[in-house]
Amino acid sequence: MIVFVHQPEYMPWLGFFDKLARCDTFVIYDDAQYQHGGFHNRNKIRTLKGWEWITVPIIHGHPQIIKNVRIAGKEWKNKHLNAIKRDYEKAPYFKDIFPLIVEAVNFDHELLIDLNMHLIENIANALDINVSMVRSSQIPYGGIEKNEKLVSMCKFLGANTYLSGSGGATYLDKERFAQANINVKYHNYEHPTYTQKYNSFEPNMSIIDLLFNAGSDASDILLKGGIISSSFNPIEEIMPPINLVLEPVNTTK
């Protein structure tokens, strides 16, 4: 079983969903510390002039645990939905995807994590991604140091493979994972290009940009960029094309 651990973000980019499609269980790391200035409460959308941030206002406190971060007010909802409508209304699949966003944004969420997970689940469904999702705060993992925590999560869930982001190469202790009989695989993402509404191509937008522009082809486009390696050398193991029915990559060799 392949486990992926990640902090919940607001309408994440393509690389997140590619990684999600290649795991069996997604651990939502909700008892980590909230990081100001990251992607927890904001992301990028494509505009005529390039791109812009859309940001969910929060009630600030420091330090804060992700699961406790509260949304500040409701005025932002119309602002976000109007911005998305303005920039994507003429995209070919706007009418198919926009209701999924409206439903999640207009739901009466008080906590940021609930909004983020509502959107992630709606988008995963639109991409035909079916994985188990569990919050880290709801499983009895242990440890103080990062590697100890990750190994403990994987052991509790019965994982034989931990799928790390490329940044994991700087801190993961593969020997510690090996002692627990857990393989470590690294995920890297080479951003695919696709037809956007506006001239030129802007990478690293929220996943909604791909969905609005590609519709039912979004899954195939998304999965072109995934690269898995057993050491962080992205060209070592390039992922083969995956059909629309998403199945975890077989990591046994």
The 10s digit of each residue's pLDDT in 94-115 is 999 999 999 999 999 999 999 9
Cβ contact 193:226 at 8 Å: no
- What is the pLDDT averaged over residues 165-184? 92
Residue 248 has pLDDT above 60, yes or no: no
Q: What is the mean pLDDT of residues 4-21?
A: 97
Q: Does 10 fall in a domain?
A: yes
| Least confident window among 88-97, 125-134, 237-246 | 237-246
The answer to the question of residue 155 being in a domain is yes
Angle between helices 14-21 and 207-214 (to 10 degrees): 80
pLDDT of residue 168: 85
> What average pLDDT does the segment 118-128 reach?
98
Average confidence (pLDDT) over 170-175 = 91
Quick one: pLDDT at residue 55? 98
What integer is the mean pLDDT of 133-139? 97
- Please give the average per-residue pLDDT across 138-150, as a whole number: 95
Residue 157 lies in a domain: yes
Residue 33 has a pLDDT of: 93
What mean pLDDT is predicted for residues 135-158? 96
Tens digits of per-residue pLDDT, 32-75? 999 899 999 999 999 999 999 999 999 998 889 999 999 999 99
Average pLDDT across the chain, whole number: 91
Residue 62: the pLDDT is 83
Q: Considering the domain boundaries, does residue 35 fall inside one?
A: yes
State which residues form the domain around 188. 2-229
Q: Indicate if the pLDDT at residue 224 is higher than 50.
A: yes
Start-to-end CA span in the chain (Å): 14
Q: Is the pLDDT of residue 235 over 50?
A: no
- What is the pLDDT, as a whole number, of residue 239? 42
Helices (H), the chain: 14-21, 75-88, 94-106, 112-126, 146-157, 174-179, 207-214, 218-222
Q: How confident is the model at residue 121 (pLDDT cuts 50, 70, 90)?
A: very high
184-200: average pLDDT? 94
Distance CA 131, CA 235 (A): 26
Tell me whether residue 236 is in a domain: no
Structural domain contains residue 194: yes
| CA distances from residue 152 to 6, 12, 180, 218 in whole angstroms, order as listed | 15, 26, 9, 35
**pLDDT exceeds cutoff 70 at 236:** no
Residue 171 lies in a domain: yes
Tell me how many domains the chain contains.
1
Query: Taking the model in full, what pTM does it have?
Result: 0.89
Q: Is 251 exposed, middle or buried (0-12, 13-18, 19+ CB in 10 A)?
A: middle
Question: 57 lies in a domain?
Answer: yes
Mean pLDDT for the stretch of residues 233-244: 41
